[in-house]
A and B are shown apart, each in its own frame.
Chain A
Amino acid sequence: MSPARGEKRCSRCGREHFISGPDGSLCPACRQEVFSWRLIGDNPRPVDPSEREMFFRDKPKEFLGQPQPLKEIWPRDLRVVRSCCFSCNCCCEVLVYVDDTGQVVKVEGDPDSPVTGGVLCSKGLAAKKLLTSPRRIPYPMVKRGSRASGNWDRVSWDEALDLIASKLIDLKDRYGPESIAFLEGTRRGWSRVFSRLANSLGAVNAGAPGWAQCLWPRLITSRVTFGSELMEVPDYPNSKCILVWGKNPPATYPIHAREIMAARARGAVIITVDPVFSKTAAKSDLWLQLRPGTDTALALGMAKVIIEEGLYDEDFVRSWTVGFDKLAARLGGYSLDEISKITWVPKELIQEAARVYALSRPASVSQGVTLDQTSNPIQTCRSLAILVAITGNVDVPGGNIVPSRRGEVSRNAHSFIRAESVPRKLLEKRLGYKEYPLLCGELAPVPSVHMPSLWRAVITEEPYPIRGALIFGSNVLVSYANSSMVEQALKKLEFIAVADVFMTPTADLADIIFPASSWLERNNVISSFQTSREYTLVQQAATRMGEARSDFEIIFDLGKRLGIGEYFWETEKDFLDHILEPVGLTFDEFTCLKRLHVPVKYRSYLKEGFKTPSGKVELYSSVLEKNGLDPLPSYHEPFQSPLETPGLAEEFPLVLTTGGRVPVFRHSEFRHIDWLRERCPFPIVQMHPATAKQLGIKPGTEVVVETPTGSVNGIADVTEGIHPSVVQVTPGWWGRGNINKIVQNEWCAPGIGTTPMRGLLCRVSRVKRPVLLDEWEGLG
């Protein structure tokens, strides 16, 4: 075509691009970057008003076109379906535009929504690609020949379900219900129905990768301390100070990010605790760069400052807490210098953060998954709960508040998941039941099996054999610590059935797979206390792809075939009608109503007290004491660390954290969506320039991270926003970038059985012969 076309290379990044300009040829991406640096580097420059006018003055009229009329622009007749995004747990209200052929054209935020105000994150905006991905499972399939063969036969839904049911019944009869593992992934709306299925069948070995590792420690400690999920619900709009702990909301909780930004613009102080200079830290007034895994020490240090300087809320502490004196005595045993040495945070900074948090009332704590992944997550979460309690930021406007209930049937209740129906004899067979009472017993939101014990039992057949697995919406090979062990265990199983939206490596291993629906094809009633705390929202199916069926209906049909049909419903809508029954609505009526709303009631404890054994906030926890755990918060050094295991630290000198979430992915999902993948094409290994220089690593080259458990590859990202002794690897990838290959699952946290993922030891080295960047696997 034009003479400008030809193979050229960008003079800055060296990438090929097909057009070069007269100025020596930067590719568009580099030019944008140079512009950004220039923009903030220059001193502000007011534009000469005449410059603004010039264009309009000089040009002839015909250049000034008018916007085209609407009809020509958008000729197709679009239907708008009001729904609720479930690309992550945020539950943002969306409008789905569907054309007359049933294709989803657009997914946008709902500007009417009081929850989001119309925003939507990159994951939600790319949701229509979930429907057309070539990796979708098209129809139920049964494997022919050996597991590794990959030969799939198409079968009908009835055949597939009959086959699974007969297989599960066979296993149950031969080895007992405990021989079947019920595994699920992250919460997706149907999760608790799956737990109901497991409990109704007596399959006690049911679990998910995220329960001990994510949310359960936070919820359990919040319940034993306050009697409610208070710690999970910060009241951002009224807060004067927000303490963001181990969390990066713009990447993981977009709605929280929106509210934090609004609070910041209003003048609220933001304090971020993160070992890496995250996007949140960049917008914070104070950034505490701690050593990964030492969160408990830092929180206790802050509590110590608050108590010793008399900054705590004396009235609240006197009337509404128990165990303050014991707490003060315990904290008196720690010295601030020692804590500063442990956490690497300067003493002055700990004091400043404590003073700012305690004195700017009301203040809220926004806590993230980091707290659940230390070496003693119960104590970590407890120490933060205690910060909230002693400053009196409990259920007050701007503090952490008790979520409201709208009155529909709670799917999180133990009665709904039928946890009580499991006979005691079976319960005692649950792997980890004795060692991890908080995870496997009734304190857990969903009593679960201890996963590392399960994998061990599969491999060793001790104390009894595990023969089969029913897996819903989980990429097991990627999601559990020590992936090589998990792979070995999975391959040993006699029977695996997988329901998933996409073909994953786990689905590849299965004997039967069936296609589940994405959130765009599902009806649901969503009530999430973490985000839309005052609202219950509606999710409506916008379209249907191939033979995919809602997980609800798959589970109901399976229940019927397993002979426990009386606990389930006929259709998805019957079930949702049941959920809405107490509020006097049917699902169809609810779709017209759009959302249920009950305003937050502050200071509900004045009337009802706290739902703890003492009726007060338990700084000294009687429940933890009963379960054989420390009733007062205490600091434990990470099980591997330069201080705890100096010998190991000589061999593995760097401290590893597996944080580093990116905005475009969630867990192991979305790697196959090109719009998102182009933003983060590889797993990233972040390190300090000094470390990189010492190890001879250049930015953008492939490196290998090793721990005593294994090794993982990634691309080096050299950044000043990290401590020279710390390395951060992004999780969620599979293949060579699967972080879980280097996380051990031998040592587990007391009481809850968490495998620590913050503050491990590792070493990093160059990869001599890197694989071409284009060939990175991990399409998910």
Chain B
Amino acid sequence: MSGRLKLVIDIDRCWGCYACEVACKQEHDLPAGLNPIRVIQVGPRNFGGKIHMAFIPVLCQHCYQPECIERCLEKAIFRTADGAIMVDANKCLGCGVCVAHCPYGAIDVDKVSGTAVKCDLCVERRARGQVPSCVQHCIGNGIHVVDEERVDSLCQGRSFWETGAVLYLSTEWIELGKHFNTHKGRKA
């Protein structure tokens, strides 16, 4: 056990039902408009004569090289031993520099409390021995928290994508990716 967490999201299992979004808002008692996890619909679009549609839950990736931590003027963003990146609400001034620099749009400022809000992998629930709320309530059973050491076995034979503690898994999109190269931002 490395003790570091990995949030594994299986894109093939996402129904696009938005349960994770509401679960997150309830758990963190957030007003409407703030979505630390948001399901994005891709498609439906015609690729190679067949129509496709996918749903992708986007949330803080808990990056290995996090811009938000580096840019934060108040040093209010920190990483815990298990790999989750968190905002210290006592230090945060809500200036929004992290919002501007997050490449995933996964951090936003709560205009009421005036602090940055993002996924903390449900630190409170984990302290009580529960899994994060999105993990428990996913209708497609597509989000899992696993120890980092188990990740390699999960990825076998499947396409995966990660820049941090969140790992996206898919089987069906490997073939499809060939049709998709509309964004040239990243290299294989």
Contact = CB atoms under 8 A, between A and B. Distances in A.
Contacts of B22: 122, 125-126, 664, 675-676
B160 A44 contact: yes
B105 A28 contact: yes
A20 to B, nearest CB: 6
Contacts of B45: 720
Contacts of A33: 40
B65 A108 contact: no
Contact of B177 (A44, A119, A261, A721): A44
Nearest to A673: B32
Interface residues of A, number: 86
A719 B19 CA distance: 23
Contacts of B109: 18-19
Given A41-B183, A257-B139, A721 B51 contact: yes
Nearest to A41: B180
B15 A69 contact: no
Contact of A126 (B26, B46, B105, B180): B26
Interface stretch (A46-54, A314-322, A431-439): A46-54
Interface stretch (A1-9, A188-196, A583-591, A732-740): A1-9
B11 A719 contact: no
Nearest to B100: A21
Interface string B6-33: 0000011101111101110111000111
A40 B65 contact: no
B93 interface: yes
B: contact size bracket: 35 or more
Given A119-B19, A125-B22, A678-B32, A65 B78 contact: yes
Interface string A101-112: 000001111010
Nearest to B159: A44
Given A74-B128, A121-B19, A258-B139, A675 B106 contact: no
Interface string A21-46: 11001111111111111111111111
B177 A66 contact: no
Contact of B58 (A36, A106, A254, A674): A36
A733 to B, nearest CB: 18
A277 B177 contact: no
A261 B86 contact: no
A18 B96 contact: yes
B95 A119 contact: no
Contacts of B79: 55, 59, 63-65
A31 B61 CA distance: 13
A128 interface: yes
B174 A44 contact: yes
B174 A1 contact: no
A679 interface: yes
A584 B150 CA distance: 49
A250 interface: yes
- Majority DSSP secondary structure for residues of A touching B: mixed
Given A20-B100, A282-B53, A121 B176 contact: no
Interface in B92-117: 93-97, 99-109
A463 to B, nearest CB: 47
A120 interface: yes
B65 to A, nearest CB: 7
A277 B16 CA distance: 13
Contacts of B170: 40
Nearest to A53: B64
Interface string A245-258: 00000110010011
Contact of B137 (A20, A68, A109): A109
Contacts of A1: 93-95
Contact of B161 (A39, A51, A68): A39
A46 B155 CA distance: 10
Given A4-B100, A32-B106, A67-B126, A663 B64 contact: no
B32 A674 contact: yes
Nearest to B129: A70
B145 interface: no
Given A32-B105, A47-B162, A251-B17, A2 B97 contact: yes
Given A108-B136, A128-B26, A250-B139, A37 B182 contact: yes
Contacts of B119: none
Given A32-B40, A257-B140, A261-B141, A73 B185 contact: no
Contacts of A45: 161, 186, 188
A125 B27 CA distance: 10
Contacts of A40: 11, 42, 54, 56, 170, 173, 176-177, 180
B19 A122 contact: yes
A47 B127 CA distance: 29
A262 interface: yes
A67 B66 contact: no
Interface in A120-147: 120-122, 125-126, 128
Contact of A69 (B16, B52, B127, B185): B127
Nearest to A31: B105
Nearest to B75: A63
A121 to B, nearest CB: 5
Interface in A259-297: 261-262, 265, 277, 279, 281-283, 287
A418 to B, nearest CB: 39
A187 interface: no
Contacts of A125: 19, 22-23, 26, 137
A330 interface: no
Contact of A2 (B95, B103, B181): B95
B119 to A, nearest CB: 12
Given A1-B94, A42-B186, A108 B18 contact: no
A615 interface: no
Contacts of A46: 160
B32 A261 contact: no
Interface in A66-100: 66-70, 73-74
A262 B12 CA distance: 12
B177 A42 contact: yes
Interface in A576-619: none
A145 B141 CA distance: 55
Interface in B144-168: 148, 159-163, 168
B105 A29 contact: yes
Contacts of B49: none
Contacts of B141: 117, 119, 258, 261-262
B160 A52 contact: no
B44 interface: yes
Contacts of A664: 18, 22
A323 interface: no
A109 B141 CA distance: 13
A118 interface: yes
A693 interface: no
Contacts of B186: 38, 42, 45
B81 interface: yes
Contacts of B52: 282
A341 interface: no
A326 interface: no
A677 interface: yes
Nearest to A117: B141
Nearest to B13: A261
Contact of A258 (B43, B140, B168, B183): B140
Nearest to B186: A42
Q: What 3 pairs between A and B have smallest CB-CB spacing? A: A31-B105, A21-B100, A2-B95
6 contacts: A19-B109, A35-B104, A36-B42, A111-B136, A663-B18, A675-B25
Given A67-B126, A721-B43, 16 more contacts: A2-B95, A25-B100, A27-B105, A31-B104, A35-B103, A37-B42, A67-B80, A73-B124, A117-B141, A122-B19, A250-B140, A261-B139, A265-B13, A279-B17, A282-B54, A283-B12
Interface of B: 11-13, 15-19, 21-23, 25-27, 31-33, 38, 40, 42-46, 51-56, 58, 64-66, 73, 78-82, 86, 93-97, 99-109, 123-124, 126-128, 133, 136-142, 148, 159-163, 168, 170, 173-174, 176-177, 180-183, 185-186, 188
